[in-house]
């Protein structure tokens, strides 16, 4: 069994320099004052970054040029270089490969639908959870992302929507899912801080509703319990992938530490506190976890532990090149969903987007 770095915070190796988005409103004022500027400059900077979505000092004409250059160089250091951008679904799905200051690669995926625009973001470079069917998990964990690196992905996605870079003309980024590279709750503090920067109204944040943000986890029970006390209203998604401990020990190795029942009970605590349904993520893998009896067991477990506060999101597996894992056939997928719903649990199949652009997280980074 692969050993797992089950910590909430990895060492700060490779984190970028301090950025405005790493800091609370009070910390921004202090940082500006330390640079010899009036504290109100922090509010001006924040208005530009969070309100106007710009990090370009040339556009910040309300700040004197000498102060502007110093403030932006100290508090808005460049975080990413865009290396590659690939699109599919007639341009409505776009995956971006970004290189951080230390050379690490991360990905984000922007998906435009008729009624919304969703951005899937990364919380770590790589992942230490070692799930064998996941491209990111097979690459291992390189490092946590900083709060600002997480937020910057969202700002860039918001700019793309504002500027009409995807078909359909200018629009608004509406939904954020922490389902890119990494295990969000293994980078706990920075992810929670990023949620506040993403959701707080300008000038303190990007103003996206917490109810439109989903934070996923493979089931780090202490972190789920900790998040329950944060007084958030984001949706929790649990990547379960099988209802039985024997198989889950292999598919999601963290299960050797926190079993299915304990994960579901911690999820119930979050649902009770927030009043929000928990999304149960289930990647259907051909002849591995798609059996009818597993659908029955999944439905009965969720009915018992979560009741009406569970929603199963079946995910047709997006196989990685050379992988032994494959997606379940459509008739098997439909029967699985039917049997879950027969237990009184709602179940839908995720829209399959981006298969031709290596949209499974980690694939583009693995290609470089």
Residue 342: partners with Cβ closer than 8 Å, 6 or more residues away: 296, 299
Give the number of C-alpha atoms closer than 13 A to the C-alpha of residue 256, restricted to the C-beta side: 13
Q: Annotate the chain with three-state secondary structure.
A: CCCCCCCCCCCCCCCCCCCHHHCCHHHHHHHHHHCCCCCHHHHHHHHHHHHCCCCCHHHCCCCCHHHHHHHHHHHCCCCEEEEEEEEEHHHCEEEEEEEECCCCEEEEEEEECCCCEEEECCCEEECCCCCCCCHHHHHCEEEECCHHHHHHHHHHHHHHHHCCCCCCCCCCCCEEEECCCCCHHHHHHHHHHHHHHHHCCCCCCCCCCHHHEEEEECCCHHHHHHHHCCCCCCEEEEECCCCCHHHHHHHCHHHHCCCHHHHHHHHHHHHHHHCCCEEEEEEEECCCCCCHHHHHHHHHHHHHHCHHHEEEEEEECCCCCCCCCCECCHHHHHHHHHHHHHCCCEEEECCCCCHHHCCCCCHHHHHC
Question: Considering Cα of 147, then 133, then 248, then 273, what sign does the dihedral take?
Answer: positive
Q: CB 104: neighbour CB atoms within 10 A?
A: 18
Select which of 107, 183, 281, 333 is catalytic: 107
Select which of 127, 134, 199, 361 is catalytic: 361
Distance, in Å, from the CA atom of 334 to the CA atom of 158, rounded to the nearest integer, reads 35
pTM assigned to the model: 0.93
Instruction: Say whether 165 is catalytic.
Output: no
Which of 110, 103, 157 lies closest to 125, judged by CA? 103
Q: Please measure the distance between the N-terminal and C-terminal CA atoms of the chain and give it in whole angstroms.
A: 28
Q: Tens-digit pLDDT profile for the chain (368 aa)?
A: 333 344 444 444 578 999 999 999 999 999 999 999 999 999 999 999 999 999 999 999 999 998 999 999 999 999 999 999 999 999 999 999 999 999 999 999 999 999 999 999 999 999 999 999 988 888 899 999 999 999 999 999 999 999 999 999 999 999 999 999 999 999 999 999 999 999 999 999 999 999 999 999 999 999 999 999 999 999 999 999 999 999 999 999 999 999 999 999 999 999 999 999 999 999 999 999 999 999 999 999 999 999 999 999 999 998 777 778 999 999 999 999 999 999 999 999 987 665 555 544 544 455 54
Instruction: Say whether 361 is catalytic.
Output: yes
pLDDT given for residue 7 in this prediction:
42
Give the bridge partners for 286, in sequence order.
none
Exposure pattern of 232-261 as b/e (b: 16+ CB <10 Å)?
bebbbbbbbbbbbeebbbebbbbbeebebe
Give the bridge partners for 95, in sequence order.
86, 109
Distance, in Å, from the CA atom of 236 to the CA atom of 283, rounded to the nearest integer, reads 17
Pairing relation of β-strands 175-178 and 310-316?
Answer: unpaired
pLDDT given for residue 351 in this prediction:
76
Distance, in Å, from the CA atom of 357 to the CA atom of 360, rounded to the nearest integer, reads 9
Distance, in Å, from the CA atom of 144 to the CA atom of 75, rounded to the nearest integer, reads 20
């Amino acid at each position: 069994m692969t050993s797992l770095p089950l910590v909430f915070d990895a060492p700060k190796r490779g984190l970028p320099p301090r950025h405005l988005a790493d800091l609370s409103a009070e910390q921004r004022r202090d940082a500006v004052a330390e640079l010899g500027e009036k504290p109100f400059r922090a509010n001006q900077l924040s208005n530009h970054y969070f309100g106007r979505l710009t990090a370009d000092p040339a556009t910040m004409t309300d700040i004197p040029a000498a102060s502007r250059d110093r403030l932006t160089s100290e508090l808005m250091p460049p975080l990413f270089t865009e290396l590659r951008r690939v699109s599919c679904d007639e341009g409505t799905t776009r995956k971006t490969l970004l290189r951080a200051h230390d050379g690490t690669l991360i990905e984000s995926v922007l998906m435009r639908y008729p009624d919304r625009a969703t951005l899937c973001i990364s919380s770590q470079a790589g992942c230490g959870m070692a799930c064998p069917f996941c491209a990111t998990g097979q690459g291992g964990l390189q490092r946590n992302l900083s709060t600002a690196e997480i937020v910057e992905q969202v700002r860039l996605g918001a700019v793309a929507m504002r500027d009409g870079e995807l078909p359909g003309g200018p629009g608004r980024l509406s939904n954020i899912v922490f389902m890119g590279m990494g295990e969000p709750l293994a980078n706990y503090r920075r992810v929670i801080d990023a949620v506040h920067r993403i959701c707080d109204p300008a000038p303190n944040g990007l103003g996206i509703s917490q109810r439109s943000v989903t934070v996923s986890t493979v089931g780090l029970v202490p972190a789920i319990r900790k998040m329950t006390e944060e007084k958030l209203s984001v949706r929790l998604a649990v990547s379960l992938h099988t209802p039985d401990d024997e198989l889950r020990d292999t598919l999601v190795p963290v299960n050797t530490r926190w079993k299915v029942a304990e994960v579901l009970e911690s999820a119930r605590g979050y649902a009770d506190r927030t009043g929000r349904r928990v999304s149960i993520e289930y990647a259907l893998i051909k002849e591995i976890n798609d059996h009818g009896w597993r659908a029955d067991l999944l439905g009965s477990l969720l009915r018992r532990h979560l009741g009406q506060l569970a929603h199963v999101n079946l995910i047709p597996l997006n196989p990685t090149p050379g992988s032994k894992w494959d997606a379940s056939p459509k008739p098997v997928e439909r029967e699985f969903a039917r049997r879950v719903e027969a237990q009184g649990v709602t179940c839908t199949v995720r829209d399959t987007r981006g298969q031709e652009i290596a949209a499974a997280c980690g694939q583009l980074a693995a290609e470089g």
